[in-house]
Amino acid sequence: MKGNQSRYASLDTSFPSTREAKFANALMDAMDAGDLDQFTAVVGDYDQVTPLDNWKTNILLKIKKSFEEDPDLR
């Protein structure tokens, strides 16, 4: 997933320093590590400062559920 991170950073040089980029990177790092607790903590920390809308919450729950159900994603 690291390739995607640098790809998006090259499209908008200000993106890597944004809160959203840090959130996305932390989510990808947690998934790469196979750490669902960290994934949940990252989502919770972000949501405390910037509440997630229903659409984002549903997407993140689907990602987490598919990650729990398919160990090969780790």
- Whole-prediction pTM value? 0.81
Mean pLDDT by 10 residues, the chain (74 residues): 67 90 94 93 97 97 90 63
* HEC letters along the chain: CHHHHHHHHHHCCCHHHCHHHHHHHHHHHHHHHCCHHHHHHHHHHHHHHCCCCHHHHHHHHHHHHHHHHCHHHC
34: alpha, beta or left, given left = phi > 0 and alpha = psi -120 to 50? left
Residue 23: per-residue pLDDT = 96
